[in-house]
Chain A
């Protein structure tokens, strides 16, 4: 069978749009891959280690995945990736970090023929399904709600799992990140205090610290450099190191 000629090879408006989109998408996809996976490649294997201790292939995978996954959360705002070492063999962590997790629930499309259709039902059951509706789609804040504090952490019922908690942490940090991205250092600091108060032993405390250093620095607070130095001493190999080095001042930092 002979394929028709591609519209994209033509010389009309449609071809122009298609060509332009092709170029733009290719470029963006490359950039996003570098941003999401490139950074993740340097991450520690904490998640995978934990998952491995849980002993199943699946959890190993999810652990390995989680550390790549979550890096994206902050990348778009100010380029700080978030790494979650909280997989602990629980896929729900990874899923909980994603706004579109519910996408998995309905299966309106047949899976391509090559992939077996005999998926065990639990493969499609994700933690989101068990959550109260308000947790199911941690929606992007609407323009009007942007900048407000994140909603209170979910009540920790027995089965309120790590995923829900992590999602709440992510939302809390997102508020800070957005404030910072919009140049509002003080509001970012308020949000970070809020985060620290709600999650004193949060999974994302390290990321919160990075954000705090940036916010302090933005606000011209002299303690930013000290904190940055301490962070760099403790985590010289951190993917955040590159970001923080300029904030630590000119003293020799590894």
Chain B
């Protein structure tokens, strides 16, 4: 299988890889090209989305890939222009499944995991280390707050606050009525503020 002697020249089609005699790069098919274009355009959005939907940092790569596996399988069915909607819907499903798996795997709650990850950050050096550490702590705290939002509410909340999408865009992306999007957002903001106050109060108490 592995042929360490295979060497060709060329660009992207170089067979540097595992199996040998397939040396000629095929002209990428239309579907492949489309897949790549979608992947390249939306990868960061998908990555951010699964992260923001509650997938722990260490698992985000896998989860994001999972979303693109689904994309690759169903590419034919996805109408032009609805790729982002498809990806986000898939991201929600994947995120939910990942979180379920995580919970089964460990009794420790996701938010505690995240908080621990923030706190156990190695004492890196360098000018940005402190800033990064602060960012991660803040991220862990945000995770903890977001963790209390139901996923459908959380989705609208993060799209609005973090992706800075407008409510009609969100409704369209999720395929829900505008009013539903608006009410989920309202609910998300209420829950967010309430949980944040609760968390701040608790942290103050624990410091005292």
CB-defined interface of A209-251 with B at 8 Å, one 1/0 digit per residue? 1000000000000000000001101111111000000000000
Is B62 within 8 A of A72, CB to CB?
yes
Is B161 within 8 A of A114, CB to CB?
no
Complex Cα distance, B14 from A42, in Å, reads 8
Is A18 within 8 A of B93, CB to CB?
no
Complex Cα distance, B57 from A22, in Å, reads 14
Chain B residues at the A interface, C-beta cutoff of 8 Å: 1-2, 4-10, 12-19, 22, 24-26, 28-29, 31-32, 35-36, 39-40, 43-45, 47-48, 51-52, 57-66, 68-70, 72-79, 81-82, 85-86, 88-90, 92-94, 96-98, 101, 105-106, 134-136, 138-139, 141-142, 145, 160-162, 164, 166-168, 173-175, 178, 182, 185-186, 189, 192-193, 196, 200
A124 CB to closest chain B CB (Å) equals 8
Query: Taking CB as reference atom, which chain A residue is nearest B75?
Result: A61
Is B101 within 8 A of A37, CB to CB?
no
* A14-B192, A14-B196, A61-B72 given; A100·B141 CB < 8 A: no
Complex Cα distance, B147 from A82, in Å, reads 33
A3 within 8 A of B: yes
Question: B-side binding surface: helix, strand, loop or mixed?
Answer: helix
Is A29 within 8 A of B44, CB to CB?
yes
A86 CB to closest chain B CB (Å) equals 7
* A14-B196, A57-B29 given; A33·B43 CB < 8 A: yes
Is B168 within 8 A of A236, CB to CB?
no
CB-defined interface of A22-65 with B at 8 Å, one 1/0 digit per residue? 11111011101100110001111111111010000110111011
A79 within 8 A of B: no
Is B1 within 8 A of A201, CB to CB?
yes
Could you list some 8 contacts between A and B, CB below 8 A? A8-B164, A29-B51, A61-B73, A64-B35, A72-B61, A111-B90, A114-B78, A237-B16
CB < 8 Å: which of B19, B63, B93, B160 contacts A6?
Answer: B160
**For A198, what are the chain B residues with a Cβ–Cβ distance below 8 Å?**
none
* A64-B36, A112-B89 given; A20·B64 CB < 8 A: no
Query: Taking CB as reference atom, which chain A residue is nearest B169?
Result: A3
Complex Cα distance, B96 from A104, in Å, reads 10
Is A114 within 8 A of B85, CB to CB?
yes
